[in-house]
Structure 1
Amino acid sequence: MEVITTTVTNFDLHDIARVSRTYNLSKYYIVNHLESQQDFVKKMQDYWSSDFGAEYNSDRQEAFKVVEVKPDLKAVLNEIESKTGKQPVIIATDARKYDNTISYKKLRNNIAKQQRPYLILLGTGWGLTQEIIEDADYILEPIYGNGDYNHLSVRSAASIILDRLVGEEWWI
């Protein structure tokens, strides 16, 4: 139960930016208090928005438009409230169920009907801190496969979660 800081990985940064842009999210926030990690994210943003990066892969440039790096969650919450005039509904993710666990179906319906912003928090390493879990409005139900192994990468989880919450209603 120790709190650790994980590094931002190139794969997670690119893949979650791409899925965020694909599902038309307004922002994909990277939260990391280490200046070196913030600099890494900014360096990647600068590269893909540069002349060479944009020419080499304009799709990547487009994906990085939604990326924003912040030192802590409070800065994210302040920015969202400043831009929207509303506090976001905070949805944490975890591989366990809690008393305030919400289903994908219910959250999808809430997102479609409500005019409040939603902030979905994903963790890497050992996941989100207990404090963040306790402060969240809801905990999204875990992603279950059909086997007994349950340890997805954050970029895989992000893709599944976004498809379930805001993706096309393919089942209709």
Structure 2
Amino acid sequence: MRFSVVTAFPEYFEAFLNTSIIGRAVKEAKIEVEIVNLRDYASNRYGQIDDYSYGGGGMVIMPEPLYRALEDIKSAGSCVVYPSPQGVVLTQDLVEALTKKDHIVLICGHYEGIDERFVEKCVDLEISIGDYVLTGGELPAMVIIDAISRLIPGVVGKEEAVSEDSFYKGMLDYPHYTRPVNWQGLEVPKELTSGNHQEAATWRRREAAARTLRRRPDLLSRAGIRPYLTKGVYLMLAHYPVLNKSGNVVTSAVTGLDLHDISRSCMTFGVDKFLVVTPLRSQREMVSKIAGHWQKAHEMGLNPLRAEALNLLKAIGSIDSGLAWIEKKEREKPLVVATTAKQVKGALPYLELKRIALEKDVPLCILFGTSWGLADEVFDHVDLVLKPIMGGNGEYNHLSVRSAVAVVLDRLFGWR
């Protein structure tokens, strides 16, 4: 990764580029940072780079020195970034996008900023590091370089430390402690001193979730919550009781396509078991036969990933039997969440379900219906109902159950 910084005050960067992690990254050639003195491209022999703003209001950096400097340093594919209060707010997503660039040129403004014509002609992206104003663009440029550099392999010693940081997966980071165990009457949580690494990992995930809920619940919209739930997650696909197009309660047929596709979605998003509900013995036997076929195929060396996904399948006779099976396995009643394509009074948005699931941290069962949806009687026996999936002009939402499962699981357990 190569950075070029155009600034009228190059001395700002001396300590930054020679200290700590960034200094080591520069020394080890993990990153390259070129500091370009804008005054070397001044418009006259007096080193002038700024002039009075038309209409009054202070000094503005002139476009021509900036243009000459940029022409001298840019290369094919250079991304020109102008730190500015008017820019898009810097987020972890944007930082990750910028790591894909080979060369980033940072234009540091000062005084009242830089001539707008240069921005229009030459700048690819304006970035703000927050809703406040600084005396110049040098500090934001350092922030941008630091945020990008730490994602470059080898810059931070432990790469897993990067993936566990705040915002990387949507959640805030968990609390950190060091010696002594007792400091001024405050003790390190016993889960971290027990020597049990699994217990420590679980505590950290739960604390990260609690901290996010307490301080930044808005982040949940882009966070995958599955790693932060300590109990099982189950998906139940009901073929009875469901409605046909006339509104009658019927039993629908199990289809192989649903089993294959939903199993793969469950495997992708960390669902513990995919329960297929049908009162028909022949249909349950078909489910078991399909799962068994792929297990044998795996033993013969065919598509092990498909076998792994279909191993999540379990056929069961009724919704109540399925919930009883989950309760026995988890030793706790699950939180049952029904899905629907209809507008139901009191239905929850996804963000609220994420919050409830994290706060309660109980087993979670997400219930889907086939055919024309779950029978009305089912909704009287569930804990929560999710709002229907809406998109486009909002009038047509007749998704296949396979598609609906993928969308719902991604909204709950996918991150960013």
TM-score range normalised by the length of the shorter chain: over 0.9
Partner of 2:384: 138
Distance 1:42 1:55 in 2: 20
Distance 2:410 2:330 in 1: 24
What are the superposed Cα offsets for residues 22-55 of structure 1, whole Å, 9 maximum, x if unpaired?
Answer: 1111111000011111011011011000146762
What SS class does the counterpart of residue 56 from structure 1 fall into?
coil
Structure with the higher strand share, 1 or 2: 2
Partner of 1:163: 410
Cα contact 1:20–1:63 (8 A) shared by 2 = yes
2:266 pairs with 16, 20, 26, which one? 20
Does residue 38 of the first structure (1) align with residue 281 of the second (2)?
no
Partner of 1:6: 252
1:69 pairs with 306, 311, 315, which one? 315
Identify which range, 1-10 or 48-57, moves more after superposition: 48-57
Partner of 2:340: 94
The verdict on how the C-alpha distance between 1:53 and 1:37 changes in structure 2, with shifts beyond 3 A counting, is farther
Distance 1:13 1:53 in 2: 20
The verdict on how the C-alpha distance between 1:54 and 1:165 changes in structure 2, with shifts beyond 3 A counting, is farther
Distance 2:403 2:267 in 1: 15
Distance 1:54 1:115 in 2: 40
CA RMSD of aligned residues (A): 1.4
What are the superposed Cα offsets for residues 134-153 of structure 1, whole Å, 9 maximum, x if unpaired?
Answer: 22111100000113321000
Identity of aligned residues (%): 36
- Aligned AA (1:166): F
Gaps of 5+ in 1: none
- Aligned AA (2:334): P
- Deviation at 1:99? 2.8
Give the number of aligned pairs. Answer: 169
- Deviation at 1:167? 1.1
- Aligned AA (2:330): T
What are the superposed Cα offsets for residues 57-113 of structure 1, whole Å, 9 maximum, x if unpaired?
Answer: 101111012111101011111111111111111111112232331110111222233
What are the equivalent positions in structure 2 for 1:143-158 lying under 5 Å apart? 143-147=389-393, 148-158=395-405
Distance 1:100 1:56 in 2: 47
Distance 1:129 1:23 in 2: 27
Cα contact 1:88–1:116 (8 A) shared by 2 = yes
The verdict on how the C-alpha distance between 1:167 and 1:52 changes in structure 2, with shifts beyond 3 A counting, is closer
Distance 2:345 2:264 in 1: 33
Gaps of 5+ in 2: 1-246
Q: Give every structure 1 segment of 4 or more consecutive aligned residues whose post-TM-superposition deviation is greater than 6 Å.
A: none
1:80 pairs with 317, 322, 326, which one? 326
Does residue 126 of the first structure (1) align with residue 372 of the second (2)?
yes
Distance 2:297 2:368 in 1: 32
Partner of 1:47: 293
The verdict on how the C-alpha distance between 1:161 and 1:52 changes in structure 2, with shifts beyond 3 A counting, is closer
| Structure (1 or 2) with the larger CA radius of gyration | 2
The verdict on how the C-alpha distance between 1:140 and 1:30 changes in structure 2, with shifts beyond 3 A counting, is same
- When normalised by structure 2's length, the TM-score is 0.39
Identify which range, 49-58 or 132-141, moves more after superposition: 49-58
Distance 1:81 1:56 in 2: 35
Distance 2:372 2:307 in 1: 30
Distance 1:40 1:48 in 2: 13
